[in-house]
Structure 1
Amino acid sequence: MDRKDIRIINQLEEQIKYLTKQQYIYNEMLNKVEDGIYITDKIGTTLFVNDAFLALSGLSRDKIIGKTVYSLKNKSILPNSCCAKVIETRSTVFTINNYVEGQKCLVSGSPIFDDDGKLVRTIAVIRDVSELNNLMKNLILREDLIINSSKYTVKESKESKKDAYISSNDYMKEIYNNVNKVANFDSTILILGETGVGKDFLAEYIYNVSNIKNKGKFVKVNCGAVPENLLESEFFGYEEGAFSGALKGGKKGLFEEANNGVIFLDEIGDMPYSLQVKLLTVINDKVFYRIGGVKPINFNAKIVAATNANLLKLVEQKKFRLDLYYRLNVVNFTIPPLRNRKEDIIPLSQEFIEYYNNKYSKNTFFSPGCLEKFLAYDWPGNIREMKNIIERLVLISDTPCIHTKLFKEQLIIGENETPVIFIERPEESSGTLKERMEQFERKEIIKVLNSSRTLKIAAETLDIDISTLVRKKQKYKIK
Structure 2
Amino acid sequence: MLVQELDCLILSSIRDTSLVEEALQIMKRDSIGYLLVKCVDTRMPEVVTWDSALEALKNSVSLNEPVKRISRKNFETIEGNRTIDEVDFKENSFFVVLGEKDSVLGILTKEAFFEYKIKSLKAERDMLSQIIEYSPNCIYVADEKGNTVLANKAWEELSDIKRSDVLGMSIEVIEKMKMYYPAITPVILKEKRKLSILQRYTNGKTTLVTGVPIFDDSGRITRVICNAKDLDEINSVTKYLNESSTGNGKQDDKIHSHGKNLIIASNVMKRIMNSLVQVAKADSTVLITGESGVGKDVVAHYIHENSPRVNHE
- TM above 0.5: no
Q: Which has the higher helix share?
A: 1
Instruction: Report the TM-score, using the length of structure 2 for normalisation.
Output: 0.41
Bigger radius of gyration: 2
TM-score by length of 1: 0.28
